[in-house]
Amino acid sequence: MARQVTGAARRVADAAEVLRDEKFNARRIELAEAALETLGELGFARTSLREIAQNSAFTHGVFHYYFSDKLDLICCCVRHYKAKCVTRYDEVVATATSRDELTEGFLAKLAATLESEARMHRLWYDLRSQAMFEAAFRKDVLEIDKSLEAMIWRIASRYAEFGGKRPASSPAALYALFDGLFQSALLRHLAGDKAAVAELLDEVRHLLPTVC
Amino acid sequence: MARQVTGAARRVADAAEVLRDEKFNARRIELAEAALETLGELGFARTSLREIAQNSAFTHGVFHYYFSDKLDLICCCVRHYKAKCVTRYDEVVATATSRDELTEGFLAKLAATLESEARMHRLWYDLRSQAMFEAAFRKDVLEIDKSLEAMIWRIASRYAEFGGKRPASSPAALYALFDGLFQSALLRHLAGDKAAVAELLDEVRHLLPTVC
DNA sequence: ATTCGTTCTTGACAAGTGTCAAGATTCTGG
DNA sequence: CCAGAATCTTGACACTTGTCAAGAACGAAT
């Protein structure tokens, strides 16, 4: 029967389906965004679907309607989180006209991120650790990690370019370095260490000229 | 009444108490070690006391007898884990007589650790992430992190010494770098990436002369 | 306006959780 | 050898969890 519909009817039906899909997907993202709130607060281990629902405008049933199970929801959250994250420093890279400008722009964003988005970042580290246990997370996590590595590489390349040089290390090493420093600073910051942010900035300020 | 016991009797009583305490503590460590098996397998989020007990020779009640609650148990596990970990490379540092020897010894241990103790290490990363949410973990985790930083610093210092130099970076930056690389390699290794170990070794081999 | 498919709510279920208490067992000092 | 303390077992409790199904509310097309 489906074979007998005209081309036009087919196109209309297809368009309707695409529209429905988009709406469905938009709703998933709404739900994922709401879930991120609670996940950032409690972490993966202590967050239940009911808790997520209670801290949001939705009922716990909706989450089961839009996601096949808990892992599906979390994966969607991670993917959505990625999109926000990997472009964070791109504006700085695009607008900076000198080493100093790039440095200061980078450091400012770094500090702001550490202080105002600590909850989202600890969730990222949580999920990356979960990926070591739960295979279902690995693909997304590895992909995000690659994107973050590329993001750091863009900054370093631009920085080196201003000095007429090339970065002294591999993308992997550079990412490991900055990610390790950030992770450590984040933990200290969350533990109430007032000096954590400043010391991270000092460290990075001192490191940039030596690695790029 | 206690005031009337003789000095000798007091000493005996004290000695008995110390003995009991030691026995108690030894048992705690036995239990913690058993718990680490399951924790390394399932991760913090998915591990319950009953699961721990079932995978061990103990009943779940014993754990409650020796630990005030679940966090107490996990903290004990973490502390015990630390003692094993921070001395891993000390023998290499102590016996190496040249840069090459130190490098090869370090790389060999690194590879062996990554391949044979992957489960314990993913647990460490898991718990370090948990510390960002659960304040009860922070003290121990920060302390272990400091110990690991010192461990890396010992290696780097010795390496630099052989070249008549001093490490080019701060202890924090060096630790961040190696920890970041290891963490990334561990995730890839667990994800089945056969090249993960080799690429970590290449990276480190190339990095050592440039940072020390 | 009615019908049909989508979306959402509600309540329930079975399984699993940390915790605890009562009693069995083992150890130990006198 | 035996009483009392310690260690351990067992089973229960109150609660939370993910999952699901039945049906209500809603929207759009006829």
pLDDT in tens, B170-208: 999 999 999 999 999 999 999 999 999 999 999 999 999
Instruction: Please check whether residues B98 and B198 belong to one and the same domain.
Output: yes
Domain end point (choices B74, B101, B136) = B74
Query: Do the domain assignments include residue A195?
Result: yes
Query: Do the domain assignments include residue B32?
Result: yes
User: Whole-structure pTM over 0.85, yes or no?
Assistant: yes
* DSSP letter (8 states) at residue A68: S
Instruction: Please check whether residues B97 and B134 belong to one and the same domain.
Output: yes
Domain residue limits at A95? 86-211
CA distance B201 to chain A (A): 12
Once rounded to an integer, what is the mean pLDDT over residues A131-154? 96
Instruction: Please check whether residues B166 and B100 belong to one and the same domain.
Output: yes
Instruction: Please check whether residues A138 and A178 belong to one and the same domain.
Output: yes
- Report the nucleotide nearest the CA of residue B17, measured to C1': D6
Domain end point (choices B25, B52, B74) = B74
Instruction: Please check whether residues B117 and B27 belong to one and the same domain.
Output: no
What letter represents residue A173's amino acid? Answer: A
Q: Which residues of chain A neighbour B44 with C-beta distances below 8 Å?
A: 45
Domain end point (choices A44, A70, A96) = A70
Instruction: Please check whether residues A61 and A91 belong to one and the same domain.
Output: no
Q: CA-to-CA distance for B73 and B68, rounded, in angstroms?
A: 8
- SS3 call for A32: helix
Q: Which residues have CB under 8 Å from A70's CB, separation 6+?
A: A49
CATH (domain of B63): 1.10.357.10
CATH (domain of A205): 1.10.357
CB of A209 lies under 7 Å from some atom of strand D = no
pLDDT at A171 over 70: yes
pLDDT in tens, B118-149: 999 999 999 999 999 999 999 999 999 999 99
Our measurement of CA A150 to C1' D23, in angstroms, reads 50
Instruction: Please check whether residues B103 and B139 belong to one and the same domain.
Output: yes
Query: Do the domain assignments include residue B81?
Result: no
pLDDT in tens, B61-89: 999 999 999 999 999 998 998 888 899 99
Question: Do residues A31 and A57 lie in contact, with contact meaning Cβ atoms separated by under 8 Å?
Answer: no
Total domains in the fold of chain A: 2
pLDDT in tens, A174-193: 999 999 999 999 999 999 99
Average pLDDT taken over every residue of chain B: 92
